[in-house]
Amino acid sequence: MIRILSRISPKVKATKAKYIFWEKISILIQNWEFVLDISG
């Protein structure tokens, strides 16, 4: 069980990093759309 987890762990970390990265980008895009809406 522990062996399997240690094998999966790096992938999970990479996936988490990607998820956080895309989450930040989507927030930035939403903010940008909001700014565009205000400016006309």
pLDDT at residue 1 in the model:
59
Q: Model confidence over 6-37: pLDDT tens digits?
A: 777 888 888 999 999 999 999 999 998 888 88
pLDDT at residue 39 in the model:
79
Structure-token pair, residue 38: 């205000």
> Number of helices (H) and strands (E), helices first, in the chain?
1, 0
Q: For residues 32 and 14, what is the distance between their CA atoms, to the nearest angstrom?
A: 27
* The model's pTM: 0.54
Q: For residues 13 and 16, what is the distance between their CA atoms, to the nearest angstrom?
A: 5
Higher pLDDT, 27 or 5: 27
pLDDT at residue 4 in the model:
73
